[in-house]
Every structure is written in C-alpha cells, then in structure tokens.
C-alpha cells in the first residue's frame, strides 16, 4: 500500500488521505443548492432535484422546472473554473487542470444541447447570494410560464 507521500502510479490523488477527502465531496445537495431550493420552495415553487432535463442527455441539472423548460445549475467554484475563485492546484496540476477544463467544456455542451431542445439554462456560482439566485430563478419561471411554457 502506498504511503502518504507516494501515491500509486497513475493515481489522481496525491495521497490516500487526499483521495478520501476528494471522494467525500458532494456532487448534489450542496449547501448553496439547499439554500436556493429552500428559498424557491418558500416562494411556492415546486421543482425536480438532480434531474435529467432531457431523457437522452446523461447529465443532471441541480433544479429542473419541467413544464417551464428551465434547468438550473449551481456550479462549484473549483470544479467548474470560476473566474473569480478558481486556484490551480499545486499537487498533480496536470490532472486537475485538465479535469476542470473538461468540466467547463461539458458545461458549455450541456447548455448548447438544452438550448437547442428549447430549454432555458441558468447557471450560478456557489459564491453567489442564494437570495439573488432565487429571485432570478423565480422571475425566469414566471416569465416562462407567462409565455406558455
């Protein structure tokens, strides 16, 4: 078994402790997502959580309003390359920088596919005010419902 400073060859983690830490990071139900959902629910809005907007698309949105065709994503600053907060890693930078670049490319592809299918996509950074996000989401839902979607 590799020790703390000598990870196995080809491992993405610099150590077993780092590996456990990274594996524990939530991909859904993060604190920013829960806060935004709570505010939306308090406004009387109902939605799907961690749902696929399109059946053939192997990606999930954090919050989905199906009848309005609105998909909401709350992106983590590190994992999605926030221009304000992303700091390139010091350990295994090649792997992690490539991973974040792939995430960003997948985000753009997801946005494009949803827009082509007639969906509205809203993306927020985890550092944005949950109240501001909820206001913008509620306004979009109201607008889309008024348009008949």
Residue 118 has pLDDT above 50, yes or no: yes
Task: Pick the closest to residue 39 from 135, 141, 127 (CA basis).
Answer: 135
Work out the burial of residue 110: count CB atoms within 10 Å of its CB; fewer than 13 is exposed, 13-18 middle, 19 or more buried.
buried
For the stretch 39-56, pLDDT in tens is: 999 999 999 999 999 999
On average, the pLDDT of the chain sits at 88
Given a cut of 60, whether residue 111 has pLDDT beyond it is: yes
CA dihedral of 21, 27, 31, 35, whole degrees rounded to 10: 180
User: What would you report as the CA-atom Rg of the chain, rounded to the nearest whole angstrom?
Assistant: 18
Please state at what angle helix 130-146 crosses helix 31-42, rounded to 10 degrees: 50
The domain locations on the chain are 27-146
- Which CATH code for domain 27-146? 3.40.960.10
Instruction: Give the global pTM.
Output: 0.82
Give the range with max mean pLDDT: 15-19, 78-82, 85-89, 118-122.
Answer: 118-122
Alpha helices in the chain (DSSP H): 16-23, 31-42, 93-116, 130-146
pLDDT value, residue 23: 57
């Amino acid at each position: 078994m590799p020790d703390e400073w000598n990870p196995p060859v080809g491992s993405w983690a610099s150590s077993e402790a780092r590996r456990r830490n990274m594996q524990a990071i939530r991909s859904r139900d993060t604190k920013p997502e829960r806060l935004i959902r709570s505010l939306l629910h308090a406004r009387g809005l109902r939605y799907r959580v961690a749902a696929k907007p399109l059946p053939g698309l192997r990606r999930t949105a954090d919050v989905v309003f199906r009848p309005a065709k609105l998909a909401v994503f709350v992106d983590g600053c590190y994992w999605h390359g926030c221009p304000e907060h992303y700091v390139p890693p010091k350990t295994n930078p090649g792997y992690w920088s490539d991973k974040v670049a792939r995430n960003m490319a997948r985000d753009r592809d997801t946005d494009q596919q949803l827009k082509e299918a007639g969906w509205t996509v809203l993306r927020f950074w985890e550092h944005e005010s949950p109240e501001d996000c909820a206001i913008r989401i509620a306004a979009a839902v109201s607008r889309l419902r008024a348009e008949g979607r």
